[in-house]
Amino acid sequence: MLSDFALGHHYYGLHRSKDGWIFREWAPNATAIFIKGVFSGWKEKEKFKLKRINQNGDWEIILPSEILKHGELYKLSVHWDGGNGERIPAYANRLVQDEVTKIFSAQVWQPEENYQWTIEDFELPDTAPVIYEAHIGMATSAEKVGTYREFTENVLPVIIKAGYNTIQLMAIQEHPFYGSFGYHVSSFFAASSRYGTPEELKALIDAAHEAGIRVIMDLVHSHSVKNVNEGLGLLDGSPGQYFHTGERRLHRAWDSLCFDYGKDSVIHFLLSNCSYWLEEYKFDGFRFDGITSMIYYDHGLEKNFTLIQRIF
């Protein structure tokens, strides 16, 4: 079944086990990978070196429970033939940005108590969607970046009163440049920490469901940010791990990288991403951004889609 194929988020990334922690990364071109953070003095240490476990390019490390704590920052140090670099794990579900250096790091996010949903199984309205599109950070009149909590308290009541039955949230996936409006995604499994915590986003969705409102997500699978340190472009040193190589690699209009949908590993990653947002945050569906860019070799650029042409 397709749903069984879309479970990469349960295998890759950082997970709590009964004996401690287990972390896995898919990096077929890598020759060595270390996990590092405050626990290693931000240095490569042999005891924090991952082991390659199969020919597919999966790497793994098992760590004692006391090594990592909730809120701890970490990164990968990836080596390949001819180079190395710091990388954010592809399945990282929480990133934070240093206020001074502006550098992003992955963050261990394992609160002592999981979020307790008020509405466990939301029944979708049987009416046609009347959609309120919103950007969390820009949904405030104040000259600042708005938060999940402020949206729940101040904007959601307005949406309810106005009679909408669906909210479409933009810019949820983590993105290094705020000015991209969330469309240059770097970490596909991480809810942006600019607006608050994962629990605060869950509370927003929970409150919307309590009011009978479905919440859909503006999901970006049509391209990815070019940033090397934060993004996937050279995660294991290979430009073709997730993306096209050659002239099809760069989206000429968006200055971003184009996924290679012809690879099972890429489809696995993106479908797992869909499953993750549905499972973890209880989003009710998606609005996929840039569909024409995904289905046409020329991305649909400079094309007129309003004319009907005869083919005979």
Query: How far is the CA of 234 from the CAs of 49, 211, 246, in angstroms?
Result: 20, 43, 14
Q: Tens digit of pLDDT for each residue in 212-241? A: 999 999 999 999 999 999 999 999 999 999
**Alpha helical stretches, state H, the chain:** 2-5, 148-150, 156-162, 198-210, 264-281, 291-295
- Whole-angstrom distance, CA of residue 222 vs CA of residue 244: 12
Q: What is the pLDDT of residue 307?
A: 64
Spatial contact of 284 and 216, defined as CB atoms under 8 Å apart: yes
> Residues 139, 201, 195, 7: what is their CA dihedral angle, to the nearest 10 degrees?
-120
Buried b / exposed e along 176-192 (16+ C-beta atoms within 10 A): beeebebbbbbbbbbbb
Q: Tens digit of pLDDT for each residue in 32-91? A: 999 999 999 999 999 999 999 999 999 999 999 999 999 999 999 999 999 999 999 999
In the chain, which residues have pLDDT < 50? none
Q: What is the pLDDT of residue 306?
A: 75
Name all domains of the chain by residue range, CATH numbers in brackets: 2-295 (2.60.40.10)
| 41, containing H or E segment | none
